[in-house]
Amino acid sequence: MFEAVKRDGIARIGILSGVGSRVRCESAQEEQTDQIRYQTPIAIDVDKLFPDISDERHRFTSVPLFASEKFTARYMPEYKDAVFKTPNSGNVAESGSMLVIANWQTVLDNPRYYADAVIKIKSGVPADTCMYAPASALPSNVCTLICSGFDLFDYRAVDLKSVQNIFCTQDGEFPAEEAFGRGICSCSGCKKGDLKEHNRNMLDNEIETVKYFIRTGHVRELLERRCRNTAAQVSIMRLFDENYEFSEKRTPIVRPTRLYANTGESMKRPEVKRFVNRVIERFVPSRTDVAVLIPCSAKKPYSQSQSHIKFQSAIQNRAHEIIITSPLGIVPRELERIYPAGHYDVPVTGYWDGEERAFITDAIARYFEKNRYEKVFVHLDGDSLGIAEAALKRAGIGYEVTASERLTSAESLKKLQDALQGYRKVSPDIIGGTVSYQFGATHENFDSSKLRLKGKFLREKVLMGNRQLFSVDTETGCFRPTFDGWELIESGYRVYIDNFVPQGDILAPGVSDCDRDIREGDEVLVVGENALATGKAMMGADEMLSSRRGVAVRVRKVKKL
């Protein structure tokens, strides 16, 4: 049986448990079975997991990966310990099953087939199934395999490299005569001169490294480094990013860690695309009469930086502040605290490459095509100025450039201040902006005019009179609704349960239905016949509905009805 316990995108850490190999008990003249329990991802001697599959019957497991359903129905083996699966096979996998994806090594150098196969297989099985890729894992590719959703591996691929006298590392494979014993590695195998042990050690070490990055929420950053080992792995990562609908469902809505946008692929991360889409499709700006475009800052949230303190002093709430940045495109002032806007780092050189320019130009243009501001002031310079001008021209929005020389110089700030003379002062509606972005609420069904933020920065509470409606999650900047707060959010982000009163967290088997927009990390309202509960989703909607194991909602408070 398999249960995922920690996720980071498609990658996850899980628990694989069950009955292992038969053993002779010395105190009794009978055979017993070992109970096994592994934390995945892991590489093991898989014969311990499949005691009922003899070597003779393994001859049927070489069904081509992309064989037709008719072919697989005739030749694909069926065992009680595992479900042999291909993209076109009709084998039914139940919750907790072990999926054996035989011949996976045949697509490691074919990125398109690789991505298509993963998407087809994982879209057709319960989320809590364990995926095993036989004879595929090397230290240099196992990060990509894990980030593709695979949980279990064997040592066959590295053992074959040992027979071929190949020295394996996380950075690639090299002739043993050139690398072995040269001080590159000091593992137990190298100390003994045992190449096979070294290669197995390297695979085990790399898997443990990937697990660490999953726990800390940085496995994507690791993947962006490791995939450079081969062109095929880079293509695989990019293809998953292109399949946004598949990847976005499995990507957490927030992380309590920083997002390091250190490569060109960072702009295509699902959480980056999702942020841009939500700003354009969901976010309700505080005003649409006048806006000012200003640059980002190294310090987050931006308003805590010296440059933004100067910008805000000149603007004096007389325009809607919109920050231009890579990789997020645009960040309205109201959303500067929310993940990932308040939690990212990007290399700053003053140069924006062609892909960055195209992505950010498109984001700005789409935003202003939807939100028709009467007047836009552009307080930018360099490449960002050119990007903003191109985007505003595409959107058909008039603008005026207010910068001269340095953006924070007295002359530039005076020019910006003078340009805004006569415009009324309107404070940023952080409450309305956050709720619209986070929960999809609109002005028609959420009125923030009677609400106020009270408390220290990033530790505020949202009050209506003396009633608390929301608190601020200090790690992510998102709102956590109370039961009174949920009353103002008329629809969405509901998890439905049957007629029981939760005594703790909501497990996946207890979920009868849920809104499809829910992602891991979302704040949700649990609705049942006998109780309400508020808490945080620990799974996305698809996983909640297809899993039979694991915590679906981490509950904070319960109210009996």
pLDDT in tens, 313-363: 999 999 999 999 999 999 999 999 999 999 999 988 877 888 889 999 999
Q: Are 440 and 517 in contact (CB under 8 A)?
A: yes
- Identify the band that residue 25 occupies on the pLDDT scale cut at 50, 70 and 90: very low
Please list, residue by residue across 4-26, b when 16 or more beta carbons sit within 10 angstroms of its beta carbon and e when fewer do: beebbbbbbbbbbebebeeeeee
Report the pLDDT value the prediction gives residue 50, as an integer from 0 to 100.
66
CA 414 – CA 61 distance, rounded (Å): 74
CA 22 – CA 51 distance, rounded (Å): 7
pLDDT average, residue stretch 99-116: 94
Report the pLDDT value the prediction gives residue 18, as an integer from 0 to 100.
75
Does residue 87 lie within any of the structural domains?
yes
Return the DSSP state at 78: B
Does residue 300 lie within any of the structural domains?
yes
Give the domain CATH number at 403: 3.40.50.10630
Residues in CB range of 182: below 8 A, 6 or more apart? none
- Give the pairing of strands 11-24 and 130-132: unpaired
Does residue 467 lie within any of the structural domains?
yes
Paired with 39 in beta bridges are 15
Return the DSSP state at 509: G
Q: Which amino acid is at 268?
A: K
Question: CA Rg, the chain, in Å?
Answer: 27
Q: Are 142 and 168 in contact (CB under 8 A)?
A: no
Confidence check: pLDDT of 24 > 50: no
The tokens of 59 are what? 């001859």
Residue 399 and residue 457 share a domain: no
**Cα dihedral 536→541→542→548 (10° resolution):** 50
Does residue 552 lie within any of the structural domains?
yes
Confidence check: pLDDT of 58 > 60: no
Question: How many domains would you assign to the chain?
Answer: 3
Report the pLDDT value the prediction gives residue 75, as an integer from 0 to 100.
81
Report the pLDDT value the prediction gives residue 56, as an integer from 0 to 100.
53
Between the alpha carbon of residue 436 and those of residues 69, 401, 445, 446, the distances in Å are 46, 30, 10, 8
CB-count burial class (<10 Å; 0-12, 13-18, 19+) for 377: buried
Q: Which of 195, 216, 237 is the last residue of a domain?
A: 216
Lowest mean pLDDT among 74-88, 102-116, 444-458: 74-88
Q: Which of 374, 394, 419 is the last residue of a domain?
A: 419
- Give the pairing of strands 166-169 and 172-175: antiparallel
Does residue 280 lie within any of the structural domains?
yes
pLDDT average, residue stretch 107-121: 96
| 426-443 pLDDT tens trace | 999 999 999 999 999 887
Residue 330 and residue 383 share a domain: yes
- Give the pairing of strands 11-24 and 2-8: antiparallel
The tokens of 80 are what? 């009680």
Residues in CB range of 225: below 8 A, 6 or more apart? none
pLDDT average, residue stretch 247-251: 96
What sign has the CA pseudo-torsion 444, 446, 447, 453?
negative
Residue 472 and residue 413 share a domain: no
Does residue 221 lie within any of the structural domains?
no
Strands (E) located in 431-530: 452-454, 461-464, 467-472, 479-481, 494-497, 506-507, 511-514, 523-527
Find the helix or strand (DSSP H, E) in which 100 lies: strand 98-100
Give the domain CATH number at 473: 2.30.130.10
CA 208 – CA 260 distance, rounded (Å): 21
CA 172 – CA 184 distance, rounded (Å): 13
CA 40 – CA 245 distance, rounded (Å): 26
Residue 482 and residue 381 share a domain: no
Does residue 519 lie within any of the structural domains?
yes
CA 143 – CA 10 distance, rounded (Å): 12
Lowest mean pLDDT among 9-23, 277-291, 496-510: 9-23
Report the pLDDT value the prediction gives residue 27, as an integer from 0 to 100.
41
Q: Where are the alpha helices (DSSP H) in 298-409?
A: 306-315, 354-370, 382-395
Place of tokens 């109210």: 559
Between the alpha carbon of residue 560 and those of residues 469, 510, 526, the distances in Å are 19, 17, 12
Q: Are 222 and 213 in contact (CB under 8 A)?
A: yes
Residue 138 has φ and ψ, to the nearest 5°, of -125, 160
| 484-519 pLDDT tens trace | 999 999 899 999 999 999 999 999 999 999 999 999
Residue 293 has φ and ψ, to the nearest 5°, of -95, 125
How big is the CA angle at 53 (ends 49 and 55), to the nearest 5 degrees? 115
Confidence check: pLDDT of 30 > 70: no
Q: Are 540 and 250 in contact (CB under 8 A)?
A: yes
Number of helices (H), then strands (E), in the chain: 18, 27
pLDDT average, residue stretch 94-102: 88
User: Whole-angstrom distance between the N-terminal and C-terminal Cα of the chain?
Assistant: 36
Does residue 124 lie within any of the structural domains?
yes
Q: Are 202 and 184 in contact (CB under 8 A)?
A: no
pLDDT average, residue stretch 455-479: 93
Mean pLDDT value across the chain: 91
Report the pLDDT value the prediction gives residue 181, as an integer from 0 to 100.
80
Q: Are 108 and 142 in contact (CB under 8 A)?
A: no
Confidence check: pLDDT of 82 > 90: no
Residue range(s) defining the domain that contains residue 100? 2-216
Q: Kindly state the greatest CA–CA separation across the chain.
A: 95
Residue 62 and residue 190 share a domain: yes
Paired with 329 in beta bridges are 325
Name the percent of the chain lying above pLDDT 90: 78
Residue 405 and residue 459 share a domain: no
Residue 206 and residue 290 share a domain: no
- Identify the band that residue 304 occupies on the pLDDT scale cut at 50, 70 and 90: very high
Between residues 45 and 229, the one the model is more confident about: 229
